[in-house]
Amino acid sequence: MKKTRIGVLGCGFWSHFQIPGWLEMEGVEIPAVYNRTLAKAEAVAGKFGIPKAYDDAEKMLDQEKLDVADIITDVDTHLRFAEMAARRGLDVVCQKPMAPTYPDAQKLVKVCRDHKVRLFINENFRWQAPIRAAKKALDSGVIGDLFKARVTFCSGFPVFDNQPFLAELDHFILTDIGSHILDVCRFLLGDAKTLYCRTRRVNPKIKGEDVALCFMEMKSGVQCFAEMSYASILEKEVFPQTLLLLEGSKGSIRLDADFELKVTTRGGTASEKVKPVLYDWIDPAYAVVHSSIVDAQRDILNGLRGGNAETTGEDNFKTVQLVWASYESAASGRVMDMDRF
| Closest by CA position to 133, among listed 255, 299, 316 | 255
| Closest by CA position to 297, among listed 21, 76, 107 | 21
Same domain, 110 and 188: no
Asked if the structure places residue 88 within a domain, the reply is: yes
Neighbour count for residue 126 (Cβ, 10 Å): 23
Same domain, 135 and 259: yes
Same domain, 98 and 195: no
**14-to-196, 264, 303 alpha-carbon distances in Å:** 31, 37, 22
Same domain, 110 and 167: no
Among 76, 95, 117, the domain-final residue is 117
Same domain, 106 and 44: yes
The answer for residues whose C-beta is within 8 angstroms of residue 132's C-beta and 6 or more apart is 126, 295
Same domain, 234 and 318: yes
Neighbour count for residue 116 (Cβ, 10 Å): 8
DSSP type of residue 313: H
Q: Which residues of 223-232 are buried (b: 16+ CB within 10 A; e: fewer)?
A: bbebbbbbbb
Q: How many domains does the chain have?
A: 2
Neighbour count for residue 305 (Cβ, 10 Å): 14
Q: Supply the CATH number for residue 139's domain.
A: 3.30.360.10
Asked if 51 and 74 touch (Cβ cutoff 8 Å), the reply is: no
Same domain, 86 and 216: no
pLDDT of residue 182: 98
Same domain, 131 and 113: no
Same domain, 158 and 234: yes
Same domain, 130 and 255: yes
Q: How far is CA 178 from the centre of its chain?
A: 9
Asked if the structure places residue 293 within a domain, the reply is: no
pLDDT of residue 285: 84
| Closest by CA position to 159, among listed 215, 98, 91, 210 | 210
List, in sequence order, every residue forming a beta bridge with 336; answer none if it has no partner.
195
Asked if the structure places residue 171 within a domain, the reply is: yes
DSSP type of residue 172: -
| Closest by CA position to 20, among listed 339, 277, 205, 195 | 277
Among 65, 85, 117, the domain-final residue is 117
Asked if the structure places residue 294 within a domain, the reply is: no
Q: Supply the CATH number for residue 62's domain.
A: 3.40.50.720
Asked if the structure places residue 306 within a domain, the reply is: no
Asked if the structure places residue 326 within a domain, the reply is: yes
Classify residue 67 as exposed, middle or buried by CB count within 10 Å of its CB (0-12, 13-18, 19+).
Answer: middle
Same domain, 34 and 140: no
H or E stretch covering 95: none
CA distance 144 to 74: 43
Classify residue 38 as exposed, middle or buried by CB count within 10 Å of its CB (0-12, 13-18, 19+).
Answer: middle
Residue 133 phi/psi, 5-degree rounding, is: -65, -40
Q: Spell out the per-residue pLDDT of the chain, length 341, in tens.
A: 789 999 999 999 999 999 999 999 999 999 999 999 999 999 999 999 999 999 999 999 999 999 999 999 999 999 999 999 999 999 999 999 999 999 999 999 999 999 999 999 999 999 999 999 999 999 999 999 999 999 999 999 999 987 888 999 999 999 999 999 999 999 999 999 999 999 999 999 999 999 999 999 999 999 999 999 999 999 999 999 999 999 999 999 999 999 999 999 999 999 999 999 999 999 988 899 999 999 999 999 999 999 999 999 999 999 999 999 999 999 999 999 999 99
H or E stretch covering 44: helix 38-48
pLDDT of residue 163: 83
Among 117, 151, 179, the domain-final residue is 117
Asked if the structure places residue 296 within a domain, the reply is: no
Q: How far is CA 136 from the centre of its chain?
A: 20
Asked if the structure places residue 301 within a domain, the reply is: no
| Closest by CA position to 242, among listed 228, 222, 252, 221 | 228
Asked if 194 and 217 touch (Cβ cutoff 8 Å), the reply is: yes
Range of the domain at 108: 4-117
Longest CA–CA separation in the chain, Å? 64
Same domain, 217 and 322: yes
